[in-house]
Amino acid sequence: MSTIKPKRRRCKICREWFQYRDFRIWWCCPEHGAIYATQKRAADQEKKRKEEAQQERRNTKIRKLAVKPLKYFHKQAQTAFNEYIRTRDAADPCISCGRFHDGQWHAGHFRTVKASPETRYDEDGCHKQCMPCNHHLSGNIGEYKPRLIEKIGQEAFDRLMGTHELKKWTREELQELAAHYRQKTRELIKRREVAA
């Protein structure tokens, strides 16, 4: 008949091995039990304090977002959208001048955001563009148009140039849009890493 070997574990205080009868016992003697209980209580209080502080930070963040103007959320969505466009067109040359360069790249809208806010987040109307074309040549529209038609097709171009209903964006919609484009950018980067 085999005998069951007594279970052993290390004391949380002195790190000595001891035999225990109850799985909740983590100390080798009553004195160490008192020390362990004091330390555990302090650790639990610290954990609770950290959780409360984290919750307070979350609440503060929510309160701060509640007073931010709609312009802030448009900027967040536009930044995420532009990053997606630059990532999507990373292998393409500038849509206007057709060159690759070592400078800064923008997400250039064919119809400007001020002139056509309803097409602001239209993927067909925004493409990778070099900074000189976008800033110094005001989008270089004369060269942009034929390359845009070649890239997206005449039907999509006509839709882009047609009339659009002006959308009144809410904070929640803009936050969802920003999250959507950040997710699309991450997925695109992952797909390219897998393909490489």
pTM tops 0.85, yes or no:
no
Q: Which residues pair with 106 in a beta bridge?
A: 129
Residue ranges of domains in the chain: 8-67, 70-195
Instruction: Give the CA angle between residues 168, 171, 173 to the nearest 5°.
Output: 70
- Secondary structure class of 159 (helix, strand, coil): helix
- Highest mean pLDDT, choosing among 12-26, 98-112, 176-190: 176-190
Q: What is the pLDDT of residue 7?
A: 84
Q: What is the pLDDT of residues 12-32, one digit of tens each?
A: 989 999 888 888 888 899 899
Q: How confident is the model at residue 186 (pLDDT cuts 50, 70, 90)?
A: very high
Q: What is the pLDDT of residue 102?
A: 87
* CA 78/CA 73 separation, integer angstroms: 8
